[in-house]
Amino acid sequence: MSATVMLSKRILKHRWLWTQVTVVLHFLLAAVVGVHGQAVSLGTWEILVNNSGIASMHAAVTRYGTVVLLDRTNTGATEIALPGGACRDSDDLVLKHDCTAHSVLFDPGTNTVRPLSILTDTWCSSGQFLSDGTLMQTGGDFEGIRKVRTFAPCPATGTCDWVESVEVVLEAPRWYATNQLLPDGRQIIIGGRSAYNIEYIPPAANGLLYFDFLNTTNDAQNDNLYPFVHLLPTGNLYIFANRDSIEYNYITNTVVKRFPRIPGEPRNYPSAGSSVMLPLLASNQFATVEVLICGGAQYGAFLEPWTQKPCSITCERMTVTDPNPIWVEERMPFARCMGDMILLPNKDVLIINGASKGSQGWGNAIDPVLNPVRYNPYAMSGSRFTIMAPSAIARMYHCTANLLQDGRVLLAGSNSHQFYTFTGDYPTELRIDAFSPPYLSPTLNDLKPTISVSPLQISYGTPFTVTVITPTGMTTIVDLNLMSAPFNTHSYSQGQRLVSLNVAGSVQVAQASVYQVTATAPPSPQVAPPGYYMLFAVNQRVPSTAVWIRVASSG
């Protein structure tokens, strides 16, 4: 690297630091003063674990509230030993005989981690929960590229661990693929590097299916990796890759609709925007579906990483159920790539993590974006974004973000290096921290509801009742929102969805603050695939701690 380039980088870095300081001071002042002279919460941060042992590349929250964290195995030794003094011998290129763990189980109740046993490389793999609550994890690299692994969760005090199947293997190598749970309980696995095809677990009778959409959306950067996949209430799939998207009928293996090309940059890996399907609402019979895609890297940022091109500052929103859908553009407060988009229980979207320049890859990004941004989909256009309090930890390449059942967002990982490196501007990050959105502010405790009684399972289309306690009573009927537990990796949460239920009403019982709230379960597995969900009660945009509830067919 030339002296001129190094000097330019230093100047850019100092300029970025001054900009961040200015932003932080501005919004700390706003937090103290507020719009009308009153205190306004912009959220708070707390470090939960100073050394988790691994840099989290993949993460998922189990129905016991614990969090499975995964890294690749081909990094050499980590900072935590395998359980029971075990070691593994493998074909890894770095360390053939390895006695360290590359997966841990985090317990938010005690802020502790327990090492788990992963035997094959999970680098850039995919996953999602099965309908019985078991986490299925597929593919990776090297000896793990066709692997199917399962983690059947247990209480935090248990000893559950990964099981790597020897009977079931993937039909195609999967590296950077996407999984989606289907209404019938199967998982569809789509794409991956040089994998222009689809397969199912359990396998379909017709085996591997060629998928031309992934071939036509490929480019010199392979910007169609980790395609965004959302299950629509019709049962079809919305699939987005690079800058194009389709509605796909997986039963007939046909494309039933093609959508306009999104403006601006590529949005998938390695350009790394993010996507959510906005909340599905019983108030419109789940008939309106909107997709939001934010951020991404400029084309060429991955091929020429030394250019450190600015990331995208745009969000694009489209109602995919419209007869003639169009993308509607909004501008974020910060340019961002490698950001995660997390649905919050009050129907907001949190945009968190990432960088403002570069793309994914080893050292390809600079200038981390420390401020999360809250997006309110139902606010007036032009006033939907709110800048939140900044983090002290840069999280860029290979980091994770997951919603916990208490409403916090758990952050882990960040490793911009091929191996664990604890020097330089952006060292490998082993800390775990949590962001508490403004709805967890102590000033809102009087509005915070509690679900005291709820069913363990609900059946499609069937009414059910929960008991909700609010400290000062309710002025409106609470919302009941079901939220899936997705598999988060590489700026995208596979299987993420929020289903806002039809609440018929509430009856005050026992005392002034106790209510029985009656709602109707989702009408079909197309709206909410069978499985375990977090059920949140939300009172005037303040959510309860969730209870886990299983959604299944009757009988």
Q: What is the pLDDT of residue 73?
A: 94
Question: CATH for 41-440?
Answer: 2.130.10.80
For the chain, the average pLDDT equals: 91
Question: What is the model's pLDDT at position 23?
Answer: 43
Is the pLDDT at 4 greater than 90? The verdict is: no
pLDDT of residue 536: 98
Indicate whether 147 pLDDT > 80: yes
Q: 3-class secondary structure for 240-305? A: EECCEEEEEECCCCEEEEECCCCCCCCCCECCCCEEEECCEEHHHCCCCCEEEEECCCCCCCCCCH
The reported pLDDT for the residue numbered 555 is 60
For residue 403, the model assigns a pLDDT of 98
Summarize pLDDT for 288-324 with one digit per residue, the tens: 999 999 999 999 999 999 999 999 999 999 999 999 9
Q: Check if the beta carbon of residue 274 is closer than 8 Å to that of residue 491.
A: yes
Residue 1's pLDDT is what?
43
| Domain 442-552 in the same topology as domain 41-440 | no
Residue 340 confidence (pLDDT): 98
Question: Which pTM value belongs to this model?
Answer: 0.92
Residue in the block written with tokens 């029971």: 84
pLDDT in tens, 84-97: 889 999 888 889 99
Give SS3 for 512.
coil
**Residue 260 and residue 16: Cα distance in Å, rounded?**
35
What digits encode the pLDDT tens for the residues 19-63?
444 444 444 444 444 433 445 789 999 999 999 999 999 999 999
Mean pLDDT of 132-144: 95
Q: Residue 480 pLDDT more than 70?
A: yes
What average pLDDT does the segment 221-243 reach? 97
- pLDDT reported for residue 21: 42
Torsion angle defined by CA atoms of residues 164, 167, 171 and 174, in that order, rounded to the nearest 10 degrees = 0
- CA trace torsion 207, 208, 212, 213 (10° rounding): 100
CATH number of 442-552: 2.60.40.10
Confidence grade of residue 510 (pLDDT, cut at 50, 70, 90): low
Cα distance between residue 337 and residue 315, in whole Å: 11
Q: Where are the domains of the chain?
A: 41-440, 442-552
